[in-house]
Structure 1
Amino acid sequence: MPNLCLVLALILFSASSISCCTDHERNCLLQFLAGLSQDGHGGLAASWRHGTDCCSWEGITCSSSSSSSTASKAVTITDVLLASKKLEGSISPALGRLPGLQRLNLSHNSLSGGLPAEIMSSDSIVILDISFNLLNGDLLDSPSSSSSSASGRRIQVINVSSNSFSGRFLSSSWKEMENLVVLNASNNSFTGPMPTFFCIRSSSFSMLDLSYNHFNGNVPPEIGNCSSLRMLKADHNNLSGTLPDELFNVTSLEHLSFPNNGLQGVLDGAGIIKLRNLVVLDLGFNMFSGNIPDSIGKLKRLEEIHLHHNSLAGELTPAIGSCTNLKALNLGSNNFSGELGKVNFSKLSSLKSLHVSYNSFNGTIPESVYTCSNLNALQLSFNKFHGQLSFRIANLKSLTYLSLAENSFTNISNTLQILKSSRDLTTLLIGGNFRDEEISDDKTIDGFENLKVLAMENCPLFGNIPIWISKLKNLEMLFLFNNHLSGSIPVCISTLNSLFYLDLSNNSLSGEIPAELTEMPMLRSERVTSHLDIKIFELPVYTGPSPKYFTVSDFPAVMILENNNLTGVIPTELGQLKALLSLILGYNNLHGEIPETILDLTNLEILDLSNNHLTGTIPADLNNLNFLSELNVSNNDLQGPVPTGGHLDTFPRSSFDGNPRLCGHILDQDCDDPVVVDAPQGSSRQGGYKVIFVIAFGALFGVGVLLDQLCLSRLVT
C-alpha cells in the first residue's frame, strides 16, 4: 500500500508538470480559422473549440521539450498539417508567429491571397508546403523581419508550386536561408532571370524546380556554385542561349531538365562526360544542333534521354548502346539519318520506351530492338523504314503502343498476322504504308484482345472494310480515312461497344448510313470514358492534303463520314448519340431533310452537312445547340429563312452559301423577294456545273466559227 501511494503521487506530480499549448498559440490558430471562408464543411470549426487543448485539434501536433527547470516540460505546437482539407480563404499571418512551428502543410486546398511575410521570415519553420492552392503575389520577407538566429533561418524545404505567384526572385529576400535544401517554385508566373543565389547561401542546396514559369535570359554560369545540386528543372520557360560550361562542374547532378525553352548550341561531349551521376537528361523542345556525342556512353547511370524536337542531325552514335540502364530514349522530331541499327539495342534490356519518329532513319527495323523484352512503347513513324515486319516483334510481350506510320512497310496481311499475337497491344498506328495493297479480310485474323486504337489511314488501301474489325471488342478509336475503300459501311461495327471515334472519310464507300451505327453504347452515353494513356499518345487527324499526328489531351466523340458516295437520308436515330461532339457528313449524295432529332445532340460542337442534296428548311432550334461552334450546310438544296436571333448569327456566310432557295440577312436575300431557281430541285450542284459548261461551250463555239470565217475570207481575197 505505501508503494502504491508513492506511484500515484508520482503520476499526479508528472501530470501537473505537463502543460498544454499556450494561449498565444491557441489565439494564432483561431485567427487562422477566422480567415477561412470554407473549412471542409465545418470540420476544423468542430474540432478547434474553445476550452479544449489545441494540441488535440485536427491537424495539430505538439511536442514537449525540457525547459531550464528540470521539474517541468514545455509543450509547443510543432506541426500544422492541413493538406487536402477543402480549405478556402486566406492564410493568416498569425501562423508565422507560432514560436515552435516546424512543419506547415496547407497543400491541395483552395486558399487565395498572398503568402504572409511572417511565414516566409519565420525562424522556426523547417518545412513549408503550400503547393496546389490559388495563392498569388510576390514571395517577399517582411521589411521588419529580424532573424536573430546565428546560423540563419532553419527552413530547409519550400514548396510553393502550382499557385499563381509572380514577380522576381530577389536575393535580399533569401539571404538568411542558409539551410535551404529544396525549393519547388514550379507552375507559377515568376519572371526575370533564373535565380541561382541559393547555391551561394546554402552549401547543402540540392533541388531546384522552376518549371512552368516565365523566367528568361541565359542559364547563369553561377549555377556552377551549386556543388550539392542533384535536381535542376527549369522546363517550360523562356530561357535562351547555350548551356554554360560551369553547369557541367556540378558533378552531383542526377536530374537535368530544360525542355520547352529556346536553348541552342551543340551538346558538349567534354562537358557531358563530367556528369557521371546523371540519371535523367531532358533537353527536348529546344534548338540544339549537331550530333549526340560519343561520351554519352560513359554515363552509366543514365535511365532517360529526352532530346526530342530539336535540330540534332547525323547518324546515331553506337555509344548509346553502352547506357545499359536506359529505360527511355526519345529522339523524335530531329534530323537524324542513317540506319537505326548503328545502336546495339540488345544491351538495353531495361528499355521501356523507344521514340525516334519524325526523322530520316532508313533501312529496316534493327533485329536487336526485338531483344528489348521490357519495351512497351515503340514509335518509328515518319521515317524511311522499309521492308516487312519481322515475326520477332512477337518477342516484345510487354508492347502496348506501336507506331509505324508513314514509312514504306509492305505486306499488310503479314503485318496483321504477326501483330495479332501481341496480346497487350492497345494502340496500333500503321497508316501511310502498304501502298495500294488490298486490306485483308482474312477471317483467321483474331487476337488484338486489348486493342483500343487502330489507325490504317492514308495508304491507300482498297477493298471493303474487313469484318474482322468487329472482333476488336475493346476498340475505342478507328481511323480508316484517305484510302480507296469501297462497298457499304458494315453493320457489324455497331457491335463495338467502346467505339466513340470513327473516321471513314475520303474513301469510296457507298450505300446508306446504317441506322445500326446509332446503337453504339459509348456514343449513346452522356459522356465518353476512355482508358487511353495520353502521356505518349499521338493521333492521326486529317486536315488536308495529308494527315497530321497530334498529341491530344482529350478524346472527343466523333463520327466523320465525309467525302464518300453515301446515299439515302440522314438516319433520324443519330439523335440518340448524345456523346457526339463532331458529326461530319459533307461531300456525299445524301438527300431528304435535316432531321429534327439532330437537335437532341446537345453536346455537338461541329456539324457539317455540306455538299449533299438536302432539302427542306434549316431547323430553327439549331440555335439551342449552345456548344455548336462550326456549322456548314452549304451547297445543298435547302430553302426558307436562315434562323436568326441566336449564335447562328455568328457563323459566316460560307456556312450557308450554295443554297439558292435560302434567304435572310446573312445571305443578303430578303425572304419577301421571289427566288428564281432554274436548276431542278435536288441537283443544284451538278446542274449548276452543267449550265456553266453549256454556256461556256456555246460561247467558245461561236468565237471559233467567227474566227474560221475571218480566216477563210482572208484566204479567198
Structure 2
Amino acid sequence: MGLFGPALVALLFFASLAIPCTEQEKSSLLQFVSELSQDGALGSSWDNATDCCKWEGISCSSENTVTDVFLACRNLEGHISPSLGNLTSLLRLNLSHNLLSGGLPLELVFSKSIIVLDISFNLLHGDLQGLPSSTLQPMQVLNISSNLFTGRFPSTSWEAMKGLVVLNASNNSFTGQIPTTFCVSMPSISVLELSYNQFSGGIPPGLGNCSMLTSLDAGSNNLSGNLPDELFNLTLLEHLSFPHNQLEGSLRGISKLTHLVTLDLGGNRISGNIPNSIGDLKRLEELHLDGNSMSWELPSTLGSCTNLRTINLRRNMFSGELTRVDFSTMPNLKTLDLVWNNLTGTIPESIYSCSNLTALRLSGNRFHGQLSERISNLKSLSFLSLVGNSLTNITSALQILRSCRNLATLLIGRNFMHEAMPEDDRIDGFKNLQVFSISRCSLYGKMPPWLLKLTNLEMLFLYSNQLTGPIPEWMSNLNFLFYIDITNNSFTGEIPAALMEMPMLKTDKVAPKAFEIPIYLTQSLQYSKPGSFPKVLNLGANNLTGVIPKEIGQLKELLSLNLSFNKLSGEIPQSICNLTNLEVLDLSSNKLTGVIPTTLNNLHFLSEFNISNNDLEGPIPTMGQLSTFPNSSFDGNPKLCGPMLAHYCGSSEKKFSTEVAKKMDERVIFVIAFGAFFCVGVLYDQIVLSRFFG
C-alpha cells in the first residue's frame, strides 16, 4: 500500500495534465478559422478531435485554458472573428504580419483578459473614433501599427485602459491633432508611437504631463509650430523622435533630457545652434538634426557625448572649423555625416581615432589640404564621401586610401582639380570597392589600368574630366559593373565590341545589400542600395567614332543608353530594339544616317528619347511610342519628315505631284483629242455638205 500511494498521486497528476480545453474555447477557435478566406493550413492542422491546447500557435495555462494565440506571419486572409473574444482567459493575441482585413472587433479591444494585442502589419481599416469606452480594461500593450485605419485618433475611447504602457498606432492614416488625454487617462504610458500618420497642428504642451514616457515618436506627420518647453520636462525620455515635420524653434532646454539615447529632429525647420549643454547628454547614442536650418559652429562639448554612435547633421548651415570637436572621445562612433554645410579648415585628425567608424561623409563643405595618412587607421571604414571640397594630390590620396581594406563606396569627385589621373600600378588594395566616383575633377590622362584590379566594382563615375585615348576593352572584365558614366571627356576611337559582353548588363541580378548611408545624386534623389540604381551605359560627349555596334542588342537589362555628342556614323542598328527595358535613349548630335527603325516602337518604357542633330532621313513613325515625343527629339535632321515637323515626307509629295501631273496629262490629252476630233468632224462635215450643195 505504501508503494501504491505515490503511484496514485502520479496517476492523478498526469490525469490532471490530460484535461483538454473546454468545448467553448475549441468552438471559438474553430469559428475564427472558419471565417478566414485563407487560413494558412490551420483548418487542416486544428483537429476537432484533439485538445486545442496542443494546436499550433495555441498555449494554455496549467488549468488548460487558452492564454496565448500566436499566429503571426501565417498568410491569413479574411476578417477577424469576434469569437476570439470568448476566450475568457486569453492574455496575449498576436495576429501581426498577415493579410487580415475588415474592422477591429470590439470584443478584442475591450476584452476583460487580454493584456497584449498585436494586429500590426495587416490590412485592417475603419474609423476607430466611435469605439465606446467601457469599464476598466487590463490592456497593457496595444499595437495597431501598419494598417489602414483612418479618422481622428480615438483617445477618449481607450480611456478605460488605465494600465496601458505601450501604444503603437504608427503607419496608419489618423488625422487631427495629437491628443493629450493619454497623460491623464493612461498614467503608466511609457511608449507612444504615432509616426507615419496625418496628424497636424502643434505638439500639445500637455504631453509634458506624461511623466512616465520613455519613448515618443511622431515622425513623418504634418506637425508644425515650435517645440514646446513642456516637452523638455519628460525627464525619463530615452527616445525623442519627430523627424520629417515642419517644426520650428530651438534646442534650448535639451539638457534636461539626461536619459536621452536617441534624439531625432531631422527634416524640420529647427534653427539656432546646438547648445553647449548638449554635452550633458552623456547617454546619447543617436543624434539626427539633418535637414534643418541650424547654424553657427559645432560646440566643443559635443565631444562629451562619449557614447555617440551616429552623428547626422547633413543639410544645415553649420560653419567654422570642425577641429573644435574632439572626436577621439567617441570610441563607438560608426557614422559621421556632415554633408552640405559650410565647414572650413582641414579634416580633424581626431576623426581618425574612431576605429569603429564605418561611414564618413564630409562632402559639400570647404575643407582643404591633403588627405592625412592617419585615415588608414579606419580599418572598418566602408563608406567615404569627400565630394566637393578643395582637396589636393589625388595620387597620394589613393595610395593612402588603399589601406582602408573594407572600403565599398568611395566618392571623391570635385576635388583635385586639373591634376593628372594617376596611372601608378601601385594603386591597389581596393578589393571590396563597389562604387567609385571621381567625377567633375577635370583630370587629364587616360583611363587608368589599375581600375581593372577593382574586381568587385559595380558603379563607375568618371564623367566631366579631360580623359583621352580609347575606351579600354578590359572594362568588360569587370564582371559586376552595371553603371558606367564616362560622359564629357575626350575619349576617342570606336566603341569597343567588348563592352557589349558585360555580364551585368545582360542579367537582372544585383547583389541585395545596402549602403552604410544613402548615396545622393542630388539633394532630393537618394539611393539606399545598389539595386536601386538603374543599369546605365553613358558614353556621351566624347570623340567616339565608327558605328554603333550591332551587338548592343545583347545588353537587354540596360535602362539608360547615352551615346550623344560624339562622331558616330552609320545607321541606328535594328538590334537596339531588343533593349526592351530602356527608359532613356539618347543618340543625338552624331553623324547617324539612314531611316528610323520602326521597331523602336517596341521600346514601350521609353520616357526620354533624342535623335536630334544627325543626318537621318525618311518618315518619323506616326504611331506607337515614338509618336509621343516632342519635335525637339527629331530636330536637326533635314531629311526627316512627318506631321510633327510640319514637313511632309518626300514620298507623299512625289505621290501627290504624280497624281496631279497624271490628272493634268489626262486633261491635255482630252483637249487635244477633242480638238482633233472636232477639226476632223468639221472637215468631214464640209466634204459631206459640199457633196450635197456643190
Given the two structures, how large is their TM-score scaled by the length of structure 2? 0.90
CA distance in 2, matches of 1:160, 1:255: 20
Cα pair distance change 1:485/1:13, threshold 3 Å: closer
CA distance in 2, matches of 1:430, 1:209: 39
Q: Which residue is 2:52 aligned to?
A: 54
Question: 1:115-165 deviations in whole A, cap 9, x for unaligned?
Answer: 22222122211111111112222235654x753xxxx21111111122221
Q: Which residue is 2:689 aligned to?
A: none
Alignment of 1:485-634 (within 5 A): 485-525=467-507, 527-534=508-515, 536-540=517-521, 550-552=526-528, 554-634=532-612
What code does the residue aligned with 1:537 have? P
Question: 1:172-214 deviations in whole A, cap 9, x for unaligned?
Answer: 2111011111111111111111133222222221111111111
Alpha-carbon deviation of 1:424? 0.6
Cα pair distance change 1:668/1:196, threshold 3 Å: same
CA contact (8 A) 2:168 2:194 kept: yes
Of the candidates 408, 411, 419, which is equivalent to residue 437 of structure 1? 419
Q: Which residue is 1:695 aligned to?
A: none
* Secondary structure of 2:652 counterpart: coil
Of the candidates 331, 335, 340, which is equivalent to residue 353 of structure 1? 335
Alpha-carbon deviation of 1:549? 6.9
Question: 1:382-420 deviations in whole A, cap 9, x for unaligned?
Answer: 111001111111111111111110000001111111111
CA contact (8 A) 1:180 1:198 kept: no
Alpha-carbon deviation of 1:440? 0.6
Q: Which residue is 2:269 aligned to?
A: 287
Alpha-carbon deviation of 1:110? 1.4
Alpha-carbon deviation of 1:313? 0.7
Q: Which residue is 1:335 aligned to?
A: 317
2:652 is the alignment partner of 1:673: yes
Question: 1:481-513 deviations in whole A, cap 9, x for unaligned?
Answer: 111111111111111111111000111111111
CA contact (8 A) 1:479 1:502 kept: yes
CA contact (8 A) 1:661 1:675 kept: no
Cα pair distance change 1:257/1:501, threshold 3 Å: same
Cα pair distance change 1:584/1:675, threshold 3 Å: farther
Q: Which residue is 1:203 aligned to?
A: 187
CA contact (8 A) 1:455 1:540 kept: no
CA contact (8 A) 1:212 1:234 kept: yes
CA distance in 1, matches of 2:394, 2:638: 47
Cα pair distance change 1:38/1:619, threshold 3 Å: farther
Alpha-carbon deviation of 1:548? 8.7
Alpha-carbon deviation of 1:657? 2.4
Alignment of 1:88-487 (within 5 A): 88-140=77-129, 142-143=131-132, 146-147=134-135, 152-268=136-252, 271-487=253-469
* Secondary structure of 1:566 counterpart: strand
CA distance in 1, matches of 2:57, 2:247: 45
CA contact (8 A) 1:155 1:179 kept: yes
Cα pair distance change 1:16/1:352, threshold 3 Å: closer
What code does the residue aligned with 2:15 have? A
What code does the residue aligned with 1:56 have? K
What code does the residue aligned with 1:638 have? L
* Secondary structure of 2:440 counterpart: coil
What code does the residue aligned with 2:69 have? V
CA distance in 1, matches of 2:549, 2:322: 50
RMSD between aligned alpha carbons? 2.1
* Secondary structure of 1:614 counterpart: strand
After TM superposition, the structure 1 stretch with the greater mean CA deviation from structure 2, 598-607 or 396-405, is 598-607
Larger Rg: 2
Given the two structures, how large is their TM-score scaled by the length of structure 1? 0.87
CA contact (8 A) 1:118 1:142 kept: no
Q: Which residue is 2:24 aligned to?
A: 24
* Secondary structure of 1:122 counterpart: coil
After TM superposition, the structure 1 stretch with the greater mean CA deviation from structure 2, 575-584 or 433-442, is 575-584
Cα pair distance change 1:172/1:539, threshold 3 Å: closer
> Identity across aligned pairs (percent)?
59
After TM superposition, the structure 1 stretch with the greater mean CA deviation from structure 2, 651-660 or 179-188, is 651-660
Q: Which residue is 2:618 aligned to?
A: 640
CA distance in 2, matches of 1:46, 1:8: 37
Alpha-carbon deviation of 1:371? 1.1
CA distance in 1, matches of 2:129, 2:402: 60
* Secondary structure of 2:339 counterpart: coil
CA distance in 2, matches of 1:487, 1:29: 75
Paired residues in the alignment total 652
What code does the residue aligned with 2:169 have? A
CA contact (8 A) 1:118 1:141 kept: no
CA distance in 2, matches of 1:8, 1:54: 27
CA contact (8 A) 2:527 2:533 kept: no
Alpha-carbon deviation of 1:273? 1.3
Alpha-carbon deviation of 1:317? 0.7
After TM superposition, the structure 1 stretch with the greater mean CA deviation from structure 2, 664-673 or 614-623, is 664-673
CA distance in 2, matches of 1:654, 1:466: 37
What code does the residue aligned with 1:33 have? V
CA distance in 2, matches of 1:278, 1:13: 52
CA distance in 1, matches of 2:509, 2:544: 27
CA distance in 1, matches of 2:397, 2:334: 22
CA contact (8 A) 2:130 2:154 kept: no
What code does the residue aligned with 2:517 have? I
CA contact (8 A) 2:517 2:528 kept: no
What code does the residue aligned with 1:111 have? L
CA distance in 1, matches of 2:165, 2:345: 49
Cα pair distance change 1:645/1:632, threshold 3 Å: same
Question: 1:274-321 deviations in whole A, cap 9, x for unaligned?
Answer: 101011111111111111100010111111111111111111110001
Cα pair distance change 1:548/1:51, threshold 3 Å: closer
Cα pair distance change 1:313/1:301, threshold 3 Å: same
What code does the residue aligned with 1:391 have? E
Alpha-carbon deviation of 1:49? 2.8
After TM superposition, the structure 1 stretch with the greater mean CA deviation from structure 2, 551-560 or 402-411, is 551-560
CA contact (8 A) 2:34 2:43 kept: no
CA distance in 2, matches of 1:286, 1:644: 49
What code does the residue aligned with 1:434 have? F
Alpha-carbon deviation of 1:528? 3.3
Q: Which residue is 2:15 aligned to?
A: 15
What code does the residue aligned with 2:448 have? P
CA distance in 1, matches of 2:134, 2:145: 27
CA contact (8 A) 2:227 2:250 kept: no
Gaps of 5+ in 2: 656-694
Cα pair distance change 1:421/1:100, threshold 3 Å: same
